[in-house]
Every structure is written in C-alpha cells, then in structure tokens.
Structure 1
Amino acid sequence: MGLLRIIVNRILEDVAAALAALSLLAMLAAQGGRFSDRLDIATHFAPVFIVLAMLSALLAALTPAGRLRRVTLGMAGGAIVLSSLLILPEVFRDAGPAAEEAQGPTLKIVQLNSWSARNQTMDETAEWILAQDPDIVVLEEATRRFQRAFESRADYHRTCNPEDRCEVIIYSKVAPLSGGLEPVDAGAYFPSTRATFAAPGGDFTVIGAHYTWPIPAGPQQQQSLRLTTMAQRYDRDRLIIAGDFNSTPWSFTLRRQDEALGLSRRNKAMLSWPAMAFSRWNIHMPLPFLAIDHVYAGKDWKTVSVERGPSLGSDHFPVVVTLALAPAG
C-alpha cells in the first residue's frame, strides 16, 4: 500500500508540475501580445490555461508538502494571475448604452457562421433563425444550399458580394437603400458586405465580416485594418458591425480593433466556439472556450438584450442581439 501511495503521489506531482509550467509559460508568452502579433496567438487560449492552472494547483494540493509542491503552486498561481490580467478587463468593461426596457421600435440581429457544407442540419438551422423573427441576419460561410433553405421559408432581402461568392450575407426584412463595399486600399482582403437602411433621424449601416484564423500572425491584423478603414465611411454613431472575427476579447488584436472602431462591442465574454464536434478527428468539447463571434454598435444604439443561441448544426453558436435606436435629437 505504501509503494502504491508513493507511485500515485509521484504521478500527481509530475502531472501538476507539467500543467503548471505549461500554463505559466503560455501566459507569459501571451503578455508579449502587447507588442507581437505572433505572441498574441497565445492570448486566445487564456480561459483554457487558467483552468489548467487551477487543475494543477488542485492536484498539487493533494501531494505531500515539499519544495516541488511549493514550486508547482507558485507556477500555477502565476499562470492564474497572468490569465486574469487578460480575461478580467473583458468581464468588467463597459458594453455600451443599455435600454432598461424596449421602448419603441427595436432591431433584432442574429449573427451566425453556418459552417458551410459541413452543417448537416441546414433546414433546422434556417427554421430556428426565422423563429427568432430577426430584422437582420448576418451569415458567414452560407452555402447555396443553406441560402435556398433560408430563402424558401421567408421573404428576406439579400445583400452580399458576388465576387466572394456571397461568403458573407446580410438578410433583412426591409429592403436596403444601398449595399456593397467600395474597394479599400488598406489591409488584406476578407469576405464582407454592407447594407444601409432608412430609419427615423437618419440612415444606419450594417457591415458583416468574416476574418481568417489568427494563425499565422499578420493576415487577421491586416483584415482589422481594412475593416477599420471601411467603417470610417459610414455614420459611426449608427453603425453596426457583426461577424465571425476568429479573435477573442482577451487578445490584444481585438482590443486594438475595439479602440480603432470606436464602437461598443455589445456581447461580453460570450463563448461561441465550438458548438459541436469539429476537426477531422470529430473532437467533442464539453463547453465552448473561444469567444470569436461579435456584434458592435454605435452610441445611438441601446442594448435591449444579448443572448447566445443553442447548438444548431454549425461549429459556432449563434449570437442574438436586440438593439433600440435612441430618439433623434
């Protein structure tokens, strides 16, 4: 029995030390995201590493007192502190003006990456979206089959860019006054579209966007530059931007974008990926761990509600935001 206890303690010590060291090194690297886009990649996984650090501390607490235990607890504590420095600003930030209750007309937006042809429940996904009775639907990776499934069930107006095969679509109940994005000589290309609508007190514009992954570093930051340049052409106070940004709010890339756009990101620390099994190995995650789908709005919009929808057939959860336009004046 004594030998078994020694073996178990050794395994616990080694596993705890390895997890703590990995978490600490990753979160130390993540702090370098302040000046390096490559190191910023580590910031996206801050929630994962804070959980691993907590787990390592728990395992270490089960081992005999000694130098290794103290070192492991110290590394775990350091990783937790560094992770918190990334996560807590998002938790406590101002998400923009809120409406105590919906007064007058509201605008309901559903944002969803429909996961292209890999979505095996396109009909059910389309039905769920329409059941929310949205005024605006922003879709990424919407295949022709998904477009047919959606359009056969409701009379919405479609705005998209045929040059990128309508990879990003804005569906709207009312016809837009205009649509499409003019060429911008800044940043890397990315799938996007724009629709402008009439409203009391002045028009408002919706931009849909889909960024590439943060790996390798560089292209996503260039896309952010391009979006920021595009957004400057429209009334910022009434502008809405929604999409799959493949970027988390604890990253310095998204923090810089938030500041550059000058809009309020209305969903706060909302984990939206993965919603179901992903990758060629059909990996299932018990909980989503990346917050990468976002909705921005200018100061003329007040937030009525922000919700995450259910797992549908995509690897993303839908984000549902209801806004109220402040009275003109």
Structure 2
Amino acid sequence: MGALRLVLIRMAAALALAMVVTGAFAALAAHGGRVSDRLDVAAHFAPIQLWMVLAGAALTLLTPRSRLRAATVGIAAVGAPLALLLVWPELTRAESRAPAGAEADLKLIQFNIWGGRNRDLEGTLDWLYAQDADVVVMQEVKPRVLDAVARRGGYHVTCERRYRCQTVILSRAPPLETGVPDVTRRAHPSSARATLPLPDGSRFTVVGVHYTWPIPAGPQQAQGRELSATLGQFPKERLIVSGDFNSTPWSFSRRREDRDFGLERRTRMLFSWPAARPAGAASPLPFLPIDHVYAGPAWRTVSVERGPRLGSDHYPVVVRLALAP
C-alpha cells in the first residue's frame, strides 16, 4: 500500500505540474494576441487556461511539500494572473441596462441553426415560433430550413442570394429596406440586412452575420474589418448586429471590433457553444461564448438569456431590448 500511495502522489504531482505549465504557457502566448493574429487564437480559451492553472495548483497542494510542489505553485502564481487579465475586461465592463421592470420594445433571437445537420428541425422551429420574437437571425441556413419556414409562414424572410441565403433574418414586420452594401468585395462574411419599422413610425436596422473560424489566422480578422466598414454605412443609434462570430470576448480581435463597431455588445460571457450534437455525445457544458448581439446607444438591455438545447451545435441567444426614453 505504501508503494502504491507513493506512485499515486507522484502521478498527482506530475499531473498538477503539467496542468499549471500548460495553462500558464497558453495564457502567456494568448497575450501575444495584442500583436499577432496567430497567437490571438490562444486567447479564445482564456477561461480554460485559468481553470487549468487553478485546478493544477489545488491538486499540487494535496501532495507533500517538495521542490516540485514549490515550482508548481510558483508557476501557478504567475499563470493565474496572466489568464485572469484576459478575462477581466469582460467581467468588469459597463452595460446599458434598462430600468428594472421595463417592458421590451424588441425581442431578438440569435441562432446558428446548423441547418445541414439539424436532426430535429421541426422541434427547433416549434421552439422558435413559440418564442414569438420580433426578429430571428439565423446562420447555416439551408434550403430545407427555408422551405420549413415558408410552410409555417408568419415571418418575412430576408437574405442575400450571393451568400446562398446562409445567413437569414426573419421579421414579423415587412422590411422597409434590405441589402448589404459592398465595401471592398474581398472578405465580406456571410450576412444579411433588414431595415424594419417601429410602432412610433421610426426605423431600425438589423445586420446578421456569420464569420469563419479563427484558424487559420487572418481571414476572420479580414472579415471583421470588412464588417466594420459596412456598418459605417448605417446610422449607429438604433443599429443592431447579431451573429455567430466564432470569436470569444477575451480575444484581442473581438476587443478591437467592439471598439471599431461603435456599438455595445449586449451578450456578456454567454457561453453558447457547443450544445448537444444530435449524431453523437452531447457536451455537458458550453465553454465558448461565440454568438453575440450588438446594439446602438438608443437601445437599453432588458435581458439576455441562453435558450435550451435544440437540434443545433449552438444554443440560441434571446435578447430583449428597450428604446431609451
């Protein structure tokens, strides 16, 4: 028993060191995202890095005092602040909240519906229609999704055929204007735009978008610059941008776009991926917040919620907004 105990202690110490070193090194690399898009990929996983460092430190404290334990604790003392610094701005940023009890003027759902592989499409649409949202922005839309929506009716469909209608805006009100302007015609992400009426006779614009993955580095950042230039064509006061950005709040690319868009991101640490996969094992918890909704200064946030697991690998995001007095 003594030999087995010694083996287990050594294994725990080695595992703790591996976790702390991996998390700390990844967090250090992630800070390089300030100057390198390649290193910025590591920043997307900042909470995981923080968890690895803290879990490794906790594990090593269960082992007897030794030089290895001291080294592990020392590395953790450096790695944990590095990872926390990546997440801290998202934890502490200000929000434009509506007063308590305020009624929402707009209910919007952001959802990558995973149209090509969604094996419970009818159940997914049952939930979407039951929400009775004013606007639904969907990505990865396929013809089967459009056909199902057409059969049900109740929504006006806006999409860009040049992007094969992969990003779609559903609206209860008929759009006053549609179309996403070309800016440079290089790296524009799949997108759609609908300018919609409000009951007071004014209007607001919704832009739906879907970015590529952050790997390899470069194309996603180019899409961000293109979208930023496109948004500059519209008044920002009541503008709303909703999409699957494949990008987390602690990446430096996302931070730059938060600034460049001139809008406030209303989703805050809302983990939306991965959800249950119909063809395989479900992820127990989502660990990447990559679906975001931005809104101009005329909007106040009433609520932001994550929807249930449906037939997609994303969770839907439900946002209620009220116009500022």
Q: Give the structure 2 partner of residue 226 of structure 1.
A: 226
The answer on whether the counterparts of 1:212 and 1:245 sit within 8 Å (CA) in structure 2 is yes
Letter in 2 for 1:8: L
Letter in 1 for 2:38: R
The answer on whether the counterparts of 2:188 and 2:227 sit within 8 Å (CA) in structure 1 is no
Cα distance in 2 for partners of 1:186, 1:162 equals 15
Q: Give the structure 2 partner of residue 37 of structure 1.
A: 37
Cα distance in 1 for partners of 2:90, 2:174 equals 35
SS in 1 for 2:192: strand
Structure 2: segments with no counterpart, 5+ residues: none
Q: Give the structure 2 partner of residue 301 of structure 1.
A: 299
Q: TM-score, normalised by structure 2?
A: 0.96
Aligned positions, number: 324
Provide Cα deviations, 1:23-43, integer angstroms capped at 9, x if missing partner. Answer: 111000001011111100000
Cα distance in 1 for partners of 2:301, 2:99 equals 6
Change (3 A) 1:284 1:155: closer
1:183 to 2:175 alignment: no
1:43-122 correspondence to structure 2 within 5 Å:
43-103=43-103, 106-122=105-121
Cα distance in 1 for partners of 2:182, 2:285 equals 39
The answer on whether the counterparts of 2:108 and 2:134 sit within 8 Å (CA) in structure 1 is yes
SS in 1 for 2:154: coil
Cα distance in 2 for partners of 1:231, 1:212 equals 18
Cα distance in 1 for partners of 2:306, 2:40 equals 26
| 1:295 Cα offset (Å) | 0.3
Cα distance in 1 for partners of 2:318, 2:80 equals 31
Task: Work out the percentage of aligned pairs sharing the same amino acid.
Answer: 48
Cα distance in 2 for partners of 1:98, 1:213 equals 33
Change (3 A) 1:76 1:201: farther
Change (3 A) 1:98 1:74: farther
2:324 to 305, 315, 326: 326
Cα distance in 2 for partners of 1:255, 1:156 equals 34
Q: Which shifted more, 94-103 or 49-58?
A: 94-103
SS in 1 for 2:13: helix
Q: Which shifted more, 25-34 or 149-158?
A: 149-158
| 1:187 Cα offset (Å) | 5.3
Cα distance in 2 for partners of 1:214, 1:277 equals 21
The answer on whether the counterparts of 2:277 and 2:311 sit within 8 Å (CA) in structure 1 is no
Cα distance in 2 for partners of 1:314, 1:216 equals 24
Change (3 A) 1:229 1:186: farther
The answer on whether the counterparts of 1:123 and 1:150 sit within 8 Å (CA) in structure 2 is no
Q: Give the structure 1 partner of residue 10 of structure 2.
A: 10
Letter in 2 for 1:296: Y
1:138-287 correspondence to structure 2 within 5 Å:
138-185=137-184, 188-199=187-198, 200=200, 202-277=202-277, 282=280, 284-287=282-285
Structure 1: segments with no counterpart, 5+ residues: none
| 1:165 Cα offset (Å) | 1.0
Cα distance in 2 for partners of 1:73, 1:129 equals 49
The answer on whether the counterparts of 2:277 and 2:312 sit within 8 Å (CA) in structure 1 is no
Runs of 4 or more consecutive aligned structure 1 residues displaced over 6 Å after TM superposition: none
SS in 2 for 1:197: strand
SS in 2 for 1:109: strand
The answer on whether the counterparts of 1:206 and 1:240 sit within 8 Å (CA) in structure 2 is yes
| 1:189 Cα offset (Å) | 2.5
Cα distance in 1 for partners of 2:201, 2:86 equals 39
Cα distance in 1 for partners of 2:248, 2:281 equals 21
Letter in 1 for 2:105: T
The answer on whether the counterparts of 1:95 and 1:268 sit within 8 Å (CA) in structure 2 is no
SS in 2 for 1:304: strand
Q: TM-score, normalised by structure 1?
A: 0.95
Cα distance in 1 for partners of 2:99, 2:175 equals 26
Q: Give the structure 2 partner of residue 25 of structure 1.
A: 25
